[in-house]
């Protein structure tokens, strides 16, 4: 029998705005015998049905909503239908790439589940106790829909730890080779599904790699910081950049840059396996000038308490980058943390530009690609923000 959870007024307001995260403080009452991952029906104190979700009393986010204002049987058919609906939304993207995010958690109505398609292979994250309950149904649905050659699980260790779950990254179906080649916008990349960061590749930056490369001129000099496997720099090389510098601390990521450059016929590049902050502090690295610099760091702020330190980090990175950027050159700077807003980035750039007495022209606002949907009802679904800035000296 499905258990009932009674929400207080703030929980009811949250549901009314179709926000799927219900915190413990927004719950008025739930059964004492409830276990993590249990399916529950949500009600107001007046007895109004508010939806169906799953609960985890051990998690700060106690309930994640699967269906609003309805009682739903959460079974194989439900999981498969949701995955198919999400996949159909991506058909247009498949005209220009064979690698897309198929399911983006809450933004596709399956909180705690992320699925990426890489050609004939799938990378899966099952990050919550509720989704863990449906592991077998999820894998079966993916096999039925995609008929993949292999599925690798890359569940997020920190997310599962918060849910009281252990993590194992491994192949869960078929076989997955050590590396595969994917295509996007005519560019090719080697990726390693088991060893790579996150689910294998940063698909959310696909559109931004393309947009930023449109500002490259033949012979430009490019600095790709936090380069991972070289995405932005390789796009720039294809567009005619002749001097590309890649910097990343990850041994695995850096090992793929040479392969990806060779795959795309890119020459005239240099790779540094180094901490970006150290690289930008070294006086030798500050002697060179660039026409385009990309700043795509990992998340500096996992929560709102870390925002001040994150801004301090961005201020250093932006100021050092503008120092070595040619007049009229471009700086692409990104934040992948929900807690660091676009306004935070703008203010930081403004503060730095005033101190340096140079103008900062915003050429483009940049966001995650469409297979990582931003749902207005779910504020935290907008996480990747960026600015393409032109440096203007007097």
Mean pLDDT of 104-115: 97
| The domain defined by 3-68 carries CATH number 3.40.640.10 | no
β-strand pairing of 170-174 with 180-184: unpaired
User: Is residue 342 over pLDDT 80?
Assistant: yes
Instruction: Write down the residue that tokens 């005239």 correspond to.
Output: 268
Task: Check residue 166 and give its pLDDT.
Answer: 87
Q: How far is CA 117 from CA 18, 182, 294, 379, in A?
A: 28, 10, 26, 25
Whether 168 has a pLDDT exceeding 80, the answer reads no
Taking only the tens place, the pLDDT of each residue in 369-378 is: 999 999 999 9
Q: How would residue 158 be classed by pLDDT, with cut points 50, 70 and 90?
A: confident
Angle at 210 between CA 208 and CA 215, to 5 degrees: 100
Whole-model pTM: value is: 0.93
Which residues are CB-contacts of 181 (< 8 A; sequence separation ≥ 6)?
119, 188, 189, 190, 191, 263
Question: What is the third-level CATH fold of 76-174?
Answer: Transcription Regulator spoIIAA (3.30.750)
Superfamily of domain 202-392: Vaccinia Virus protein VP39 (3.40.50.150)
What is the per-residue pLDDT across 232-262, written as a single tens digit (0 to 9) for each? 999 999 999 999 999 999 998 899 999 999 9
pLDDT number for residue 283: 65
Determine which helix (DSSP H) or strand (DSSP E) holds 212, and give its type and residue range. helix 206-213
- 118 forms beta bridges with 99, 121
Q: Domain locations in the chain?
A: 3-68, 76-174, 202-392
Residue 141 pLDDT exceeds 90: yes
pLDDT, the chain, mean:
94
Sign for the pseudo-dihedral over CA of 273, 274, 280, 283: negative
- Given a cut of 80, is residue 19 above it in pLDDT? yes
Contact yes or no for 195/251 (Cβ under 8 A): no
The separation between the first and the last C-alpha atoms of the chain, rounded to the nearest angstrom, is 71
Summarize pLDDT for 181-203 with one digit per residue, the tens: 999 999 999 999 887 666 678 99
- Which range (8-12, 31-35, 319-323) has the least confidence? 31-35
Q: Is 336 helix (H, G, I), strand (E, B) or coil?
A: coil
Q: What is the C-alpha to C-alpha distance for residues 364 and 387, in angstroms, rounded to an integer?
A: 6
pLDDT digits (tens, 9 = 90+) for 42-80: 999 999 999 999 999 989 999 999 999 999 999 999 999
pLDDT of 82 > 70? The answer is yes
Looking at residue 162, what is its pLDDT?
86
Closest-CA residue to 269 (of 232, 241, 297): 241
Provide the token pair at 171.
């192949």
Which DSSP state fits 196? S
Would you tell me how many other CB atoms lie within 10 Å of the CB of residue 376? Answer: 9
The strand ranges marked E within the chain are 3-7, 21-23, 27-29, 39-44, 49-55, 61-68, 99-104, 113-118, 121-126, 150-153, 170-174, 180-184, 187-191, 221-225, 243-248, 269-273, 290-295, 325-335, 359-367, 385-392
Based on C-alpha coordinates, what's the Rg of the chain? Answer: 23
């Amino acid at each position: 029998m499905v258990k009932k959870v009674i929400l207080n007024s703030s929980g009811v307001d949250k549901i009314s705005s179709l926000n799927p995260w219900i915190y413990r403080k927004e719950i008025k009452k739930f059964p004492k015998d409830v276990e993590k991952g249990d399916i529950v029906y949500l009600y107001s104190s007046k007895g109004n049905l508010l939806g169906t979700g799953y609960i985890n009393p051990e998690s700060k986010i106690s309930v994640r909503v699967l269906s609003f204002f309805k009682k739903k049987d959460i079974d194989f058919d439900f999981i498969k239908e949701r995955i198919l609906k999400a996949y159909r939304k991506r058909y247009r993207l498949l005209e220009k790439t064979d690698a897309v995010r198929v399911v983006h958690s809450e933004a596709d109505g399956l909180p705690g589940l992320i699925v990426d398609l890489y050609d004939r292979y799938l990378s899966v994250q099952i990050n919550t106790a509720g989704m863990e309950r449906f592991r077998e149904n999820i894998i079966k649905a993916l096999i039925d829909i995609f008929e993949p050659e292999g599925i690798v699980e890359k569940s997020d260790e920190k997310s599962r730890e918060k849910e009281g779950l252990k993590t194992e990254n491994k192949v869960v179906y078929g076989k997955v080779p050590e590396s595969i080649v994917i295509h996007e916008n005519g560019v090719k990349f080697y990726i390693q599904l088991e060893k790579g960061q996150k689910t294998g590749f940063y698909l959310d930056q696909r559109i931004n790699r393309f947009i930023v490369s449109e500002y490259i001129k033949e012979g430009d000099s490019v600095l790709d910081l936090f380069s991972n496997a070289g995405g932005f720099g390789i796009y720039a090389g294809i567009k005619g950049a002749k001097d590309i510098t890649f910097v990343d601390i990850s041994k695995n990521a850096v090992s793929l840059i040479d392969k990806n450059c060779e795959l795309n016929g890119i020459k005239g590049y240099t790779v540094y396996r180094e901490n970006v902050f150290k690289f930008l502090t070294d006086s030798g690295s500050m002697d060179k000038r660039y026409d385009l610099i990309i700043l795509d760091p990992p998340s500096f702020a996992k929560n709102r308490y870390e925002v001040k330190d994150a801004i301090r980090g961005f201020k250093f990175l932006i100021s050092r980058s503008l120092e070595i950027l040619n007049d009229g050159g471009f700086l692409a700077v990104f934040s992948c943390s929900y807690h660091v807003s676009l306004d935070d980035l703008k203010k930081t750039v403004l503060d730095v530009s005033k101190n340096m007495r140079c103008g900062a022209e915003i050429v483009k606002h940049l966001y995650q690609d469409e297979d990582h949907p931003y749902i207005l009802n779910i504020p935290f679904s907008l996480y990747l923000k960026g600015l393409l800035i032109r440096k203007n000296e007097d």
